[in-house]
Amino acid sequence: MVLVGPGQSGDAPMFPHLMAHLQVARHGPGRPRTRPGRLRADKAYSSRAIRTHLRSRGITAVIPEPADQVGHRKRRGSQGGRPPTFDAQDYKGRNVVERSFNLFKQWRGLATRYDKLALTYRGGAVLRAITIWLKDLLGDMP
- The length of the chain, given as a count of residues: 142
Q: Please state whether the predicted TM-score (pTM) of the whole model is above 0.75.
A: no
Q: How far apart are CA 128 and CA 123, in angstroms?
A: 9
Q: Are the CB atoms for 121 and 105 separated by under 8 Å?
A: no
Core vs surface per residue 6-41: b (16+ CB within 10 A) or e: eeeeeeeeebeeebeebeeeeeeeeeeeeeeeebbb
User: For residue range 107-142, what is the model confidence (pLDDT) as tens digits?
Assistant: 877 777 777 787 888 888 888 889 888 888 887 666
Q: Are the CB atoms for 38 and 60 separated by under 8 Å?
A: yes
User: For residue range 19-66, what is the model confidence (pLDDT) as tens digits?
Assistant: 888 888 888 899 998 888 888 888 888 888 898 999 999 999 999 988
